[in-house]
C-alpha cells in the first residue's frame, strides 16, 4: 500500500519507522509523540514483539507506554502463524489506536505475518486511521521490498544487499535503520538500484520519520534521515559486474534531513525547515540536497 492511499475516503494513519535505540527514559521524544498521536491519555496501543528473541520485550514497551500516559497497552505476541489468525488478537487490532513493532529480526517478523489475517488487518486499519510505528527491524519490515540483510560500506557493490518481501505499508521506498552508526549507505543505494522506481529512507538511531497521510515525512529525533531519490537512477557500469565489485550509479539525488525538516515523498521535494550553509552562522549544515 502506498503512503497516502486510504480506503473509502478515510485518512490513513501515520507510518512511523524509527532507526532503533530510541530514547525510552531520559528524553523519549519519539515515543511520547507517538503516544500523543494515538490519543494520549486515551490511547490504546498494541505492541508486536515478534521480531525480538527476548521474552520480556513486549513487557518492556508496555511499561514505557504506560509511563508515557497511554490508557491501555496490549501485547500481541504472534509466536506462530496460527496466532496471526486468532480472533482474540484480531479484535485487539480492531480497537487499537496505534501499533508498535519492536526491534529484533525483520525476517522473523515478516515471515510470521505475511499472508495472514493479522497482516491484512494491520494494513486495512492503517488505511482507516490507525497509526503504525516500528523500531529497527520493525521499521525495515514496513516496506514492501524489505532489506533482510547485507554488508556495510559507503560504496554500493554487487550482492551487497539481500531483499525479501516486507509487510507493505510503504510500496515505493525501502527502509534501512541504524544507518550512520553501521555505515549502511552502500547497501541502501544497492537496494534502491534493485527496485523499479525505487527510493530509500535511511534512519539513524534515536531518529524517526513521521509519515503523514499527505505523504509528508517529518524528522523527529537526535540523528538524521537520509533520503535517496532513485527516480532518475542509472547504472553507469560499462560491463557486467561480479559479486562484490563496486556498482556505478548516476542520477541519484541524496537528501540529508534533521529534526524539524520535512520532505514530500510524492514529489521528492524538500518542503520546510531547510537552512543553507551560508545562512547558518555556526557554519553547520543542518540539511543538504546533493545532486
Active site residue 178: yes
Nearest to 205 by CA among 259, 135, 109, 143: 135
Q: Cα torsion for 215, 221, 224, 226, to the nearest 10°? A: -30
Active site residue 243: no
Pairing of strands 216-221, 249-250: unpaired
Q: Check residue 129 and report its DSSP letter.
A: T
DSSP one-letter string for 242-259: PTT-B--EES-EEEEEET
Helices 29-37 and 57-67 pack at an angle, to 10 degrees, of 70
| Active-site entry in 22, 44, 143, 205 | 205
Active site residue 136: yes
Compute the distance between CA of residue 230 and CA of residue 254 in angstroms, rounded to an integer: 9
| Active-site entry in 178, 218, 224, 255 | 178
| Active-site entry in 136, 140, 143, 224 | 136
Catalytic residues: 136, 178, 205
Amino acid at each position: 500500500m502506498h503512503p497516502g492511499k486510504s480506503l473509502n475516503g478515510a485518512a490513513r494513519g501515520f507510518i512511523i519507522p524509527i532507526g532503533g535505540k530510541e530514547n525510552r527514559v531520559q528524553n523519549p521524544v519519539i515515543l511520547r509523540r507517538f503516544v500523543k498521536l494515538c490519543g494520549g491519555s486515551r490511547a490504546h496501543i498494541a505492541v508486536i514483539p515478534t521480531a525480538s528473541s527476548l521474552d520480556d520485550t513486549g513487557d518492556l514497551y508496555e511499561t514505557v507506554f504506560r509511563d508515557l500516559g497511554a490508557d491501555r497497552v496490549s501485547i500481541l505476541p504472534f509466536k506462530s502463524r496460527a496466532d496471526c489468525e486468532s480472533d482474540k488478537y484480531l479484535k485487539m487490532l480492531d480497537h487499537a489506536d496505534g501499533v508498535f513493532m519492536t526491534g529484533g529480526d525483520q525476517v522473523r517478523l515478516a515471515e510470521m505475518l505475511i499472508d495472514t489475517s493479522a497482516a491484512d488487518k494491520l494494513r486495512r486499519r492503517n488505511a482507516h486511521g490507525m497509526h503504525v510505528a516500528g523500531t529497527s527491524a520493525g521499521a525495515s519490515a514496513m516496506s514492501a521490498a524489505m532489506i533482510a540483510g547485507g554488508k556495510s560500506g559507503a560504496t554500493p557493490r554487487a550482492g551487497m544487499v539481500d531483499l525479501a518481501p516486507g509487510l507493505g505499508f510503504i510500496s515505493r521506498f525501502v527502509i534501512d535503520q541504524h544507518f550512520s552508526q553501521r555505515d549502511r549507505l552502500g547497501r541502501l543505494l544497492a537496494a534502491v538500484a534493485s527496485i523499479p522506481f525505487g527510493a530509500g529512507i535511511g534512519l539513524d538511531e534515536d531518529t524517526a520519520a513521521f509519515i503523514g497521510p499527505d505523504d509528508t515525512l517529518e524528522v523527529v529525533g537526535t540523528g538524521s534521515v537520509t533520503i535517496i531519490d532513485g527516480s532518475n537512477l542509472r547504472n553507469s557500469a560499462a560491463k557486467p559486474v561480479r559479486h562484490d565489485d563496486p556498482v556505478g550509479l548516476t542520477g541519484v539525488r541524496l537528501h540529508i534531513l534533521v529534526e524539524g525538516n520535512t520532505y514530500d515523498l510524492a514529489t521528492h521535494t524538500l518542503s520546510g525547515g531547510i537552512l543553507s550553509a551560508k545562512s547558518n552562522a555556526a557554519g553547520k549544515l543542518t540539511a543538504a540536497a546533493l545532486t
